[in-house]
């Protein structure tokens, strides 16, 4: 007859099946530089659509009447917009793209404000030594990317790089309607050095290589936010390896503060919800960036001008986020992915 196993002189109770240990979330694999290839793909798709689709053909003038008085009176002589996004006055262009770096900065700021990281719990490969150092590195990356945006599209010790590129390749400011009222006016227009100033005096850019500032900004913004999102999620996951902000927000009303800390470390349901809505907002900006990038690829600029904007933005992102993998000293300074 078998005997029950005794512990401390007492018969042991039947052994129950042990509950499975909670598994930590798997470590996130680092993004590859090849993710930047998504942008040439978007450009190729947009360019292909612009060539093959009848709706993407150049705006045409109505020809319902033969040229003459009847045509002038009855037929509007303005180009017909074939697509809402083909016009520069569309809502997203005016209130999203034109102030795109504001939305980018807001999304980045919310990411940093809702990070709850614990450097002691981070893997050695991403450990920085202090929470403050994480923030300083993030701010430095933001500064470098923003400086690239300023130099390229806003100001570079005078005209921005895209304006300098335009004028150095033969571009100039000319009258919008093709004629100059006086010699002095013609000289004044030809001396204008920026696209903004040219429009302000009633002229337009003509000739030259006009690097697509829209393409540059949209690529830079979306890549920057995606990579910062990855970094912040890695830090947050290290501090809360067992529970996501979604789950923390759901159970917040049903648990005590001690239980919240036990299951994931989220300080409160409000903190978890703030993180969750920040995630939604960041991805909304990224998706809108991608959509307007596709619209730009279809409707605006030449292919070479868009390729130039794409190349400048990709080099900027690579230098800040992927070059640190090749340079330990640079990685200590800016972090990276």
Tally of CB atoms within 10 A around 66: 7
Question: Widest CA span of the chain, in angstroms?
Answer: 118
Whether the predicted pLDDT of 301 surpasses 80: yes
pLDDT at 38: 97
Whether the predicted pLDDT of 281 surpasses 70: yes
Query: What tokens were used for 76?
Result: 């509007």
Got the DSSP string for 212-228?
-HHHHHHHHHHHHHHHH
Nearest alpha carbon to residue 234 among 129, 130, 319, 134: 134
Which has more pLDDT, 53 or 292? 292
Give 146's contacts (C-beta < 8 A, 6+ positions apart). Answer: 101, 105
- How much is the pTM? 0.75
pLDDT at 203: 81
pLDDT at 197: 81
pLDDT at 116: 67
Query: What tokens were used for 115?
Result: 């990070």
Query: What's the pLDDT tens digit per position in 63-118?
Result: 333 333 333 334 344 445 567 887 888 899 999 999 999 999 999 999 998 886 55
Q: Which of 177, 209, 242, 301 is catalytic?
A: 301
Q: How many Cα atoms within 13 Å fall on the side-chain side of residue 178? A: 0
Helices (H), the chain: 38-52, 69-74, 91-92, 100-113, 131-149, 161-168, 183-190, 195-200, 213-239, 245-251, 257-263, 269-299, 303-317, 328-334
Bridge partners for 6 per DSSP: 11
pLDDT at 254: 61
Q: Phi and psi at residue 211, in whole multiples of 5°?
A: -55, 135
Q: Phi and psi at residue 261, in whole multiples of 5°?
A: -65, -35
pLDDT at 12: 44
Query: What tokens were used for 300?
Result: 């605006």
Active-site annotation holds for 240: no
Query: What's the pLDDT tens digit per position in 312-326?
Result: 999 999 999 999 999
Which has more pLDDT, 56 or 50? 50
Mean pLDDT along residues 285-310: 94
Q: Phi and psi at residue 172, in whole multiples of 5°?
A: -155, 170
Active-site annotation holds for 214: yes
Rg for the chain, CA atoms, rounded: 28
Mean pLDDT of the chain: 76
pLDDT at 187: 52
pLDDT band at 200 (very low <50, low <70, confident <90, very high): confident
Query: What's the pLDDT tens digit per position in 122-167?
Result: 444 444 445 678 889 999 999 999 999 999 999 989 889 999 998 8
What is the share, in percent, of the chain residues with pLDDT greater than 70? 64
pLDDT band at 30 (very low <50, low <70, confident <90, very high): confident
Query: What's the pLDDT tens digit per position in 213-262?
Result: 999 999 999 999 999 999 988 877 665 554 566 666 665 556 665 555 54
């Amino acid at each position: 007859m078998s005997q029950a196993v005794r512990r401390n002189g007492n018969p042991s109770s039947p052994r129950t099946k042990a509950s499975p240990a909670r598994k930590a979330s798997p470590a996130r694999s680092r993004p590859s530089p090849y993710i930047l290839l998504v942008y040439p793909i978007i450009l190729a798709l947009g360019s292909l659509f612009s060539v093959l689709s009848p709706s993407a053909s150049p705006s045409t003038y109505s020809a319902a009447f033969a040229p003459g008085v009847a045509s002038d009176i009855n037929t509007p002589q303005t180009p017909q917009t074939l697509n809402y996004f083909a016009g520069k006055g569309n809502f997203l262009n005016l209130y999203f793209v034109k102030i795109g770096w504001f939305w980018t900065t807001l999304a980045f700021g919310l990411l940093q404000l809702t990070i709850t990281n614990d450097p002691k719990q981070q893997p050695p490969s991403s450990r920085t030594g202090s929470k403050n150092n994480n923030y300083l590195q993030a701010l430095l990356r933001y500064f470098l990317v923003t400086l690239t945006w300023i130099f390229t599209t806003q100001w570079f010790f005078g005209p921005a790089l895209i304006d300098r590129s335009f004028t150095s390749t033969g571009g100039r400011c000319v009258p919008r309607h093709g004629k100059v009222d006086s010699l002095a006016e013609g000289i004044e227009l030809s001396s204008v050095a920026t696209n903004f100033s040219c429009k302000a005096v009633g002229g337009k850019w003509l000739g030259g290589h006009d690097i697509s500032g829209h393409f540059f900004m949209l690529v830079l913004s979306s890549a920057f936010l995606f990579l910062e999102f990855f970094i912040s999620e890695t830090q947050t996951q290290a501090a809360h390896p067992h529970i996501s902000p979604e789950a923390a927000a759901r159970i917040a009303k049903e648990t005590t503060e001690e239980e919240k800390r036990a299951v994931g470390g989220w300080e409160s349901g409000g903190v978890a919800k703030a993180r969750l809505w920040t995630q939604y907002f960041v991805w909304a900006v990224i998706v809108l960036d991608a959509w307007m990038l596709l619209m730009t690829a279809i409707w605006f600029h030449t292919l070479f001008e868009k390729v130039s904007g794409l190349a400048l933005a990709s080099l900027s992102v690579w230098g800040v986020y992927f070059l640190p993998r090749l340079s330990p000293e640079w990685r200590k300074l800016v972090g990276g992915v």
